Amino acid sequence: MRINKSNLESVFQSTKTSVETMELKGYEYICNLFADSSGFGQEDEASLTPKQLLKELKTIVEEHGTVHTFISEAGQFQVNIGVFKQTGKRRTRRIANNTLEVYKTDKYQDLEAIRLHDTNIITFLDNGKIRLNNGGWQTRTTASRINDYLPTGYLLYQKNWNWLIDTPTGTIEYQNGMEI
């Protein structure tokens, strides 16, 4: 959520993402604000009340100008709100909904990974192989994104709740972290 002096309360509409994803998108991590999300927090507790959160955020905005906030972790009654400043050194390019190409440099050279949400589902290794990781989500979207980047002759599909990969030499069972 883009935050400046005129919309501090928009912090309560922040969405969830990881610090790593934000850094890849060209944001510099400034700090973390640990805040109460239950509405019952007290001012003497470790987590910030909404009033304390807005006060801290105002101080940060006065120092850094416009910042961006995202929920980096959420518990039952508290949230960690990451505060970021945009640097412009983006190493990602959006290719589909919630899907990014991750490059080794901000010049968009040397494709490093394909990232779905906060998981690198495909990592391009220096030895020419690719590493697969579904992040624990065996969804059609994940399979579709992986299939888009599999080498010619390879196909990922689901049969009887198991993921399988057809290869030029036969069918193998999918395993997280496998290299092909």
Q: Domain check: are 113 and 152 in the same one?
A: yes
Q: Domain check: are 73 and 143 in the same one?
A: no
16 occurs within a structural domain: yes
Q: Domain check: are 8 and 80 in the same one?
A: yes
35 contacts 79 by C-beta, under 8 angstroms: yes
Distance CA 77, CA 124 (A): 39
Q: Where does a domain end: 26, 55, 86?
A: 86
Q: Domain check: are 82 and 97 in the same one?
A: no
What does the pLDDT profile of the chain (180 residues) look like in tens digits?
999 999 999 999 999 999 999 999 999 999 999 999 888 888 888 899 999 999 999 999 999 999 999 999 998 899 999 999 999 889 999 999 999 999 988 777 788 999 999 999 999 999 999 999 999 999 999 999 999 999 999 999 999 999 999 999 999 999 999 999
Q: Domain check: are 18 and 58 in the same one?
A: yes
180 occurs within a structural domain: no
22 occurs within a structural domain: yes
129 occurs within a structural domain: yes
Task: Report the candidate in 39, 36, 27, 33 with the shortest Cα–Cα distance to residue 2.
Answer: 27
Looking at residue 69, what DSSP letter applies?
Answer: E
Q: Which domain holds residue 24?
A: 2-86
Q: Where does a domain end: 39, 54, 86?
A: 86
